[in-house]
Amino acid sequence: MITDERIKNSSELEFVVFCIENVAAKLGVDTERVYQAFTEQSDILNGYIVPEYEVLHTQSREYIVDDLLDVMKERGGSMILYHGSFLEIAKPDLVHSRSNVDFGRGFYVTPLYEQAAKWCGKFKRRGKDGVISRYGYDENRGNKLKTLKFDSYSEEWLDFILSCRSGKDSTDYDLVVGGVANDKVFNTVELFFDGLIDKAEAINRLRYEKPNLQICFRTEKALSLLHFEGSETL
């Protein structure tokens, strides 16, 4: 049951502002965009933040932001996604994507601005520009896509990565959602691929890692739900 409550005092108002500002900072967007997501595109402000104020305001900043991002995913609306490259990509396609990578051929984005900035880093180290392109994505329409989702660095995630990187993936998913292989995770995966550790040891090392989310749009049907909103050069 969803409770709909209005802001009753200055403490709740200050907390609402805190939530909006910190979610906006996490996503790399302006506060107006988050306010709209909390009020016009969902009931998160009056249906979650205000009713849960007594519990939420005692938590850490990181916990509150992560919790609100999860609620945004659950309650739908427009998600903001980012792609890090050396140029603006206003019209994403599959032609320029590489095969034999984590989730196979596709256009890779993330809801985390910091992750997109890291993707730009590899281009900047080569003397190129780092450009973050920003897209709107309608999650409600996305629910109709054939989607594979990994919530952790699991055995299933590792098997799928191995299948895609070795060119053996024959699945027809429109969308694949799961963890990014950061340096530590990448090293573990490479040790497993090279036969230097077994699967059990690889899973044991990965289980304590918190995934940085990436989303792979693998079909034209999926790409049609991405709407370019702009870009910035780092």
The two tokens of residue 185 are 């995770």
Which among 29, 47, 76 is the end of a domain? 76
Judgement on whether residues 91 and 32 belong to the same structural domain of the protein: no
In-domain check, residue 126: yes
Which domain range does residue 158 map to? Answer: 79-233
**What region, left, alpha or beta, does residue 28 occupy, with left being phi > 0 and alpha being psi -120 to 50 degrees?**
left
Per-residue pLDDT of the chain (234 residues; tens, 9 = 90+): 344 568 889 999 999 999 999 998 887 778 888 898 888 778 899 899 999 999 999 999 999 998 998 888 777 656 789 999 999 999 999 998 888 888 999 999 998 888 899 899 989 999 999 999 999 887 777 878 999 998 888 888 888 988 998 889 999 999 999 987 666 777 888 888 888 988 888 888 887 777 678 999 999 999 999 999 899 998
For the entire predicted model, the pTM comes to: 0.71
Identify the burial level of 102 via C-beta atoms within 10 angstroms of its C-beta, where 0-12 means exposed, 13-18 middle and 19 or more buried. buried
- Looking at 25, 45, 76, the residue that finishes a domain is 76
Q: Check whether residue 219 and residue 187 sit in a common domain.
A: yes
